Amino acid sequence: MNFLVYAQLILQFLPAIFQIVMAIETAFKGAAVPVSGPAKKTIALDLLTAGPQPIAAEHVDLVGKLVDTVVGSLNKTGVFTKGA
């Protein structure tokens, strides 16, 4: 896979990934058991593969890594813990 394919996937799915991850956090804020990173990834991939522009099978792993990166960066910045 070349750089242009990576760039296209990031531009196509990054906004949706941010929205999905933030929606998960909002929905489960204050839950007795917080949603784990792998669970967020599973939910995000399920939604993205069922969406109007589903992920091609050969790109699921790459988009999964993008979800991991988004969740990890939001965790590191404390976005999910601020205001809790």
83 inside domain: no
Domain contains 71: yes
In a domain, 37, yes or no: yes
Measured in Å, how far apart are the chain's first and last C-alpha atoms?
41
Nearest to 67 by CA among 18, 12, 4: 18
pLDDT value of position 66 = 92
Please report whether residue 35 resides in a domain: yes
Q: What sign does the CA torsion over 27, 30, 35, 40 have?
A: positive
Number of domains the chain is built from: 1
Rounded Cα distance, 53 and 48, in Å: 8
- Structural domain harbouring 65: 3-77
The residue behind tokens 């069922």 is 50
Q: Are 21 and 67 in contact (CB under 8 A)?
A: yes
Quick check: is 84 in a domain?
no
Per residue of the chain (84 residues), give pLDDT as tens: 688 988 998 999 999 999 999 998 888 887 777 788 888 899 999 998 887 888 888 889 999 999 999 988 888 887 766 555
Report the pLDDT value the prediction gives residue 82, as an integer from 0 to 100.
58
